[in-house]
């Protein structure tokens, strides 16, 4: 079957999709978007987290056909998505990384990097929804994302950093 949906603001189409195929497989193998990672295929690890009509979901548990006509954001589109939302950076590619991505780098929250795309999408959504998250908020928002390099402390640091920077920017913006 053919599936068509919007990914990161652009219309994507795939043909000959098997009816039982996951959204994750279509993104990675048919649409050339391998940022979302494939690990557990059962919703345990969160490596494939994407935004489906704004909500963080495991792409491995959405049948590709269920995404027909819907709007997706993957880690590849995070910088542009964040720029449009926050009104930061200039139009043409000035913000190469979303603030949450820069914070992960600055905090050293990346080791092997496999869990990182899912964590970035989940963390970005948390800060969008809860600009000043408590530690409990962060832990809950990231509870569906596993890191096996034992990097959780740095990941928590990165989310705190991203939230603090966004907050500081807002204060500056008001002055």
Partner 1 sequence: MEFLRPATWEEALAAKAEHPSAVPIAGGTDVMVEINFDARRPGHLMDLNRIRDLHEWEVGEENVRIGASVPYARIIDRLATELPGLALASHTVGSPQIRNRGSVGGNLGAASPAGDSHPALLAAGAEVEAESVRGTRFIPVEEFYTGVKRNALADDELIKNVHVRKAQGPQQFSKVGTRNAMVIAVCAFGIALHPESRVVRAGLGSVAPTPLRARVAEDFLNAALEDGGYWNSRATLPPSLAREFAELCVGACNPIDDVRGSAAYRRRAVGVMARRTLGWTWESYRKGGSQGRTTEGGAQCA
Residues lying near partner 1 in the complex (CB under 8 A):
1, 18-20, 22, 41-44, 46, 49, 55-58, 60-63, 65-66, 68, 122, 140-141, 143-145
The CB-of-83 to partner 1 minimum distance in angstroms stands at 24
Q: What b/e string do you get for 81-112 counting C-beta neighbours within 10 Å, with b at 16 or more? A: bbbeebebbeeeeebeebbbbbbbeebebbee
* Shorter beta-carbon distance to partner 1: residue 63 or 156: 63
The DSSP secondary-structure symbol of 14 reads E
Instruction: Report residue 172: phi and psi, to 5°.
Output: -60, -45
**Least Å distance between CB 17 and partner 1?**
9
Spatial strand order of the sheet with 49-52 comes to 10-14, 3-7, 71-73, 49-52, 55-58
Please report how close the Cβ of residue 93 comes to partner 1 at its closest, in angstroms.
30
- Angle at the Cα of 91 from the Cα atoms of 88 and 97, rounded to 5 degrees: 55
Task: Look at residues 30, 120, 22, 27 and name the one whose alpha carbon lies nearest to residue 75.
Answer: 120
Q: How far is the CB of 172 from partner 1 (least distance, A)?
A: 30
C-beta closer to partner 1: residue 101 or 145: 145
DSSP code at position 22: B
Q: How far is the CB of 65 from partner 1 (least distance, A)?
A: 5
Judged by beta carbon, residue 8 or residue 22, the one nearer partner 1 is 22
Q: Which is nearer to partner 1, 30 or 88 (CB)?
A: 30
Give whichever of 68 and 106 is closer to partner 1, judged by the CB atom: 68
């Amino acid at each position: 079957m053919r599936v068509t949906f919007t990914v990161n603001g652009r219309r994507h189409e795939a043909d000959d999709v098997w009816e039982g195929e996951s959204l994750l497989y279509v993104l990675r193998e048919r649409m050339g978007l391998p940022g979302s990672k494939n690990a557990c295929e059962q919703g345990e690890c969160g490596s494939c987290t994407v935004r489906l009509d704004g909500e963080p979901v495991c792409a491995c548990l959405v049948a590709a056909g269920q995404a027909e006509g819907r709007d997706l954001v993957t880690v590849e589109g995070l910088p542009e998505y964040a720029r449009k939302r926050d009104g930061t950076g200039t139009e043409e590619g000035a913000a190469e990384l979303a603030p949450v991505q820069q914070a992960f780098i600055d905090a050293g929250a990346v080791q092997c990097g496999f869990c990182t795309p899912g964590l970035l999408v989940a963390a970005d959504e948390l800060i969008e929804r809860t600009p000043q998250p408590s530690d409990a908020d962060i832990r809950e928002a990231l509870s569906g994302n596993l890191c096996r390099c034992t990097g959780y402390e740095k990941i928590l640091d990165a989310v705190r950093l991203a939230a603090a920077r966004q907050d500081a920017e807002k204060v500056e913006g008001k002055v």
